[in-house]
Chain A
């Protein structure tokens, strides 16, 4: 496969002919796309080849273009932030199209609405593309088969497709897709084609090398940080250490003395729900901009922010909300009555902190607001479509006037779907009439947010005299991401997203009296989705408390989960496999402990068994055994890679310093304080994938939620200490 520079969004917008030309299609070609009205799994593939349609209609957009040399260009509509959409999207099409991956050129979509939903988020690319992309591939293949059969005056059933050619079985003759493209392009798109069964896959499910790796090991892969635009200025921006503070005045005398500094101006950071004030230093190099920024003297009006931005104060508010009645996702039986008659009653509070995303590439964006009012963006964003929407709204221009180029993302984890950093560049470009590149420092990234919210899980449960768990209640308490970011929170109801992984639908523990609810407690600390979103918080309390109840019942925690999940085939299978693969029932050597946790999120079920050991210098995670049921998958090696990453990020979240606010400011500023897991702290990992023919689930996030509870359940097993507040410093557990 070949990576193609994405430098043609403008032309893409202007019509089909331009698209075809840019795709290298000089003559006749086969162009297939989707009707934008079709969403999700039900889709209709459309033939866009007819030459009379000079301009692509708004509803139709090409995803596949095949030229008369058999070359294939296709659009990757989901930005690649390390989750490998550059491979997964083409593989789904190529499987049914019967072409090899080296025949494919890939281009990143540009955010235009006709490409549909383009947000890399919610572990959704394969899940939402699985049927429609394979259908598109199958439709093209069938059109080539029909074209060849007509050409040969042969039975279509005597023809078959392989490696970009149609072969005639009786005679052995063949024609390439390029040779057939003219005839094929005149045909109707066949509808409702049967798709291959898993056993017939040639590409899907195979650990094929990723196409972008060579570029990433030679330094030539272009990340957002690497883009340069002629005439651009660099900006470094001083924002209030208390995030929402207002600029009373600033003295830029010394800043302007720094060689290379061209301009200092008041600026703004537009959050989705409010604008924050800042002062920007522009220069002809980044280093000059940064030195100028350091020389600024700014007087801030921070109002009462010193009291409002305080994580201890917020934690106390969360605890105070435990007593509140919560709107529920699940309410089976009657928890209170069941607890009243329980032989053993337990209640506990679990707390998870604010966290920064800290992608290795800090926030960076280039914007160029031009004289004609249009705007061009180069930025590592998770959603090019959302970028067009927000930039056009911010500038008061039409979406068609915004062009977005998306290079590779140097990590994102949710952060780069929050576009404050892009709008900062837009603001400065509009003011200065030049292209502006805004680069955040690591300190900006760690201190300015938005952050993974701090949350609290209030748990109650009961066990009867026979050792059966009869009652379970989980109230998740914290700020609503939807409420804060979008101003959407349904009063009197639970948060629209926070039931993921804990509602009875996704955590089907057969406990007769079961309640899962959500209480909103607002904060002024900016928050947003962070890898695996709410389950990164909520699974900790959920799965730790099941463990507490199992111990109260005098039962093995894994056996209890199997018993309570016995009616759910996939959960039961995952747990049974984990029991077997991890050697769960073997006696552990002295000083060791084991813990299990399971969670279903983003359509996949993941369970971890953690094995920890006591050492003279603290507790060490020795081994993690994972079973993941993500249904059918594209590349097993990438599924493992994502899961390794989830375990590492989950361990960092559980054991490394969090983000704390005191007197209005984040107390951590860079990696010396906001520490990440390093190589010597990686446990051994064994990752087992469940083989089945279920529809694909997510892969980029489901491995994370069960990490913290499995770890802390193992800590309890080894030490008898129940960890209910994260992070836990393993070195202090001796």
Chain B
């Protein structure tokens, strides 16, 4: 076991875990941040996506020992009141069905809009293609990213 101090959602949080523990399980089992989901464990589905220094990152394959002082943002910290433009757009378009993958979808979309505020169709597709949705909400995700882009300056 080793003690880690992590910068998560603007706070310093401590976890006493094995160094190889993926950030995903540190968030979920040790810090109570369960909005980030487990889907595959091999970075194939995107359900575990968080921001690492504003970059969309798969937390299921990122050992906690590799996080260091990087700033982590999870779905819980994306906005104070759940009103990030991407969350608003997801709500307006009624994107989720079961909703399990949507934290990861939203984090991926928010990272995209941060670096490319007005993405074209292809840029949306390329950014979102790594996130699986078994319910098949892809068209609504695509639409919601476009709606969110109109809300950000």
Contacts and interface: CB of A to CB of B under 8 A. Distances in A.
Contact of A225 (B18, B37, B42, B82): B37
A409 B75 contact: no
Interface stretch (A206-214, A300-308, A516-524): A206-214
B17 interface: yes
Interface string A401-416: 0000000111111000
Contact of A217 (B22, B28, B74, B102): B102
Interface string B93-134: 011111111110010000000000000000001101111111
Interface residues of A, number: 63
Contacts of B47: 360
A645 B37 contact: no
A678 B106 CA distance: 16
A359 B125 CA distance: 22
A217 B90 contact: yes
Interface in A211-230: 212-223, 225-226, 228
B44 interface: yes
A247 interface: no
B40 interface: yes
B97 A285 contact: no
A679 B97 contact: no
A291 B128 CA distance: 31
Given A645-B135, A670-B42, A685-B139, A680 B125 contact: yes
B98 to A, nearest CB: 3
A287 B21 contact: yes
B41 A219 contact: no
A442 interface: yes
Contacts of B136: 644-649, 677, 682
B8 interface: no
Contacts of B30: 285
B125 A679 contact: yes
A348 interface: no
A217 B29 contact: no
A410 B100 contact: yes
Contact of B138 (A217, A285, A682): A682
Contacts of A648: 135-136, 138
A223 B17 CA distance: 25
Q: What range describes how many residues of B lie at the interface?
A: 35 or more
Contact of B98 (A226, A409, A442, A685): A409
Contact of B82 (A218, A234, A642, A647): A218
Contacts of A682: 136, 138-139, 142
B101 A680 contact: no
Contact of A361 (B42, B100, B130, B138): B100
A99 to B, nearest CB: 22
B28 to A, nearest CB: 8
B98 A219 contact: no
A411 B99 CA distance: 8
Contact of A82 (B28, B45, B135): B135
Contacts of B102: 216-217
Contacts of A81: 98
A82 B18 contact: no
B141 A287 contact: no
B21 A670 contact: no
Contacts of B140: 641, 644
A217 B101 CA distance: 10
A685 B142 CA distance: 13
B103 to A, nearest CB: 5
Nearest to A446: B40
Given A287-B25, A408-B98, A413 B134 contact: yes
B44 A672 contact: yes
B59 interface: no
Interface in A642-665: 642, 644-649
A680 B131 CA distance: 11
A645 B1 CA distance: 44
A78 B94 CA distance: 21
Interface string B36-76: 11111110110100000000000000000000000000111
Contacts of A485: none
Interface string A324-343: 00000000000000000000
A140 B98 CA distance: 32
Given A219-B36, A285-B29, A360-B45, A210 B137 contact: no
B132 A671 contact: yes
A529 B111 CA distance: 38
Contact of A213 (B28, B94, B130): B94
A234 B45 contact: no
B76 A219 contact: yes
Nearest to A437: B29
A528 B40 CA distance: 22
B34 interface: yes
A81 B97 CA distance: 8
Given A82-B135, A360-B133, A649-B136, A213 B41 contact: no
B134 to A, nearest CB: 5
A145 to B, nearest CB: 34
Contacts of B132: 360, 671, 676, 678
A662 B81 CA distance: 51
A248 B136 CA distance: 43
B82 A217 contact: yes
Contact of B129 (A439, A637, A645, A680): A680
A83 interface: yes
B125 A360 contact: no
Contacts of B125: 679-680
Interface in A626-649: 637-638, 641-642, 644-649
Contacts of B40: 442, 670-671
A285 B100 CA distance: 21
A528 to B, nearest CB: 16
A679 B94 contact: no
B5 to A, nearest CB: 19
B39 A360 contact: yes
A358 B36 CA distance: 18
Contacts of A360: 37, 39, 45, 47, 98, 100-101, 132-135
B126 to A, nearest CB: 8
Nearest to A647: B136
Contacts of A143: none
Given A209-B94, A679-B138, 14 more contacts: A81-B98, A213-B91, A217-B87, A219-B74, A285-B21, A287-B25, A360-B98, A362-B38, A439-B38, A648-B138, A671-B132, A678-B138, A679-B128, A682-B136
30 contacts: A209-B94, A213-B94, A214-B82, A217-B90, A217-B102, A219-B34, A219-B35, A223-B99, A225-B38, A225-B100, A226-B34, A234-B29, A260-B18, A285-B25, A285-B29, A360-B45, A408-B98, A410-B100, A442-B42, A641-B94, A641-B97, A644-B140, A645-B137, A670-B42, A671-B40, A671-B42, A677-B138, A679-B125, A679-B141, A682-B138
